[in-house]
Amino acid sequence: MKAGNLSTYVGTTFILFIFWLLITWSLHYHQLIAGLLCSVLVVIFCKDILIYPNERFKIRPITFVKFAVYFANLFVEIIQANIQVAKIVLSRKMPISPTLIEFKTNLKDDLSRVILANSITLTPGTLTVDLEGDVYLVHGLTRANAVDVVDWHMAIKLLDIEEGK
């Protein structure tokens, strides 16, 4: 560890410790010591993943804003899909038509592809079964759910984020 990077290590440890506090909701000293110890150990053993050199990983403010908008839109999509799936499941006829569909995206970045795959899976009624390169295999609770994923506006938002990097 370089002395110049000490603030980066301390800052990352602090962020992890705050996260620990948020998920434990406990201020008992045993929990605090365990959280601090775990945070320090994670930073020490995972520094290559958590702490990037400046040349390799830069997030511009506009990219951060675009991701925030993306995740806000994803949250709305998840709520809408929950309501739609609840209507289907609570219907007397239960109009399901399970469908597998395969499609390609224009996304070039692996991270964007994985974010899209996870977004599809997080949205009730759809599940990403496989992702190979730029080809997705998606299962939908109904045929309409599966077909809607092909032209999903969330993929376009990710493409916009990719092009803005």
pLDDT, tens digit, 9 for 90 and up, residues 30-51: 888 999 999 999 888 887 776 6
DSSP 131: E
What pLDDT score does 127 carry? Answer: 94
Contact (Cβ atoms closer than 8 angstroms) between residue 81 and residue 123: yes
| Main-chain dihedrals φ then ψ at residue 68, nearest 5 degrees | -60, -45
What pLDDT score does 4 carry? Answer: 43
The pLDDT tens digits of the residues spanning 118-155 come to 999 999 999 999 999 999 999 999 998 889 999 899 99
Structural domain boundaries of the chain? 3-50, 61-164
DSSP 21: H
pLDDT higher at 91 or 2: 91
What pLDDT score does 10 carry? Answer: 84
Q: How confident is the model at residue 165 (pLDDT cuts 50, 70, 90)?
A: low
pLDDT higher at 40 or 59: 40
Contact (Cβ atoms closer than 8 angstroms) between residue 146 and residue 126: yes
Q: What is the mean pLDDT of residues 17-27?
A: 85
Question: What is the Cα–Cα distance from 97 to 10, expressed in whole angstroms?
Answer: 52
> Which is nearest to 34 in space by CA: 18, 20, 23, 14?
20
pTM over 0.75: no
> Which is nearest to 137 in space by CA: 125, 126, 124, 122?
126
**Over the chain, what is the mean pLDDT?**
86
The pLDDT tens digits of the residues spanning 99-108 come to 999 999 999 8
Beta strands in the chain (DSSP E): 99-104, 126-132, 135-140
Q: How confident is the model at residue 1 (pLDDT cuts 50, 70, 90)?
A: very low
Q: State how beta strands 135-140 and 126-132 pair.
A: antiparallel
The pLDDT tens digits of the residues spanning 61-71 come to 788 788 889 99
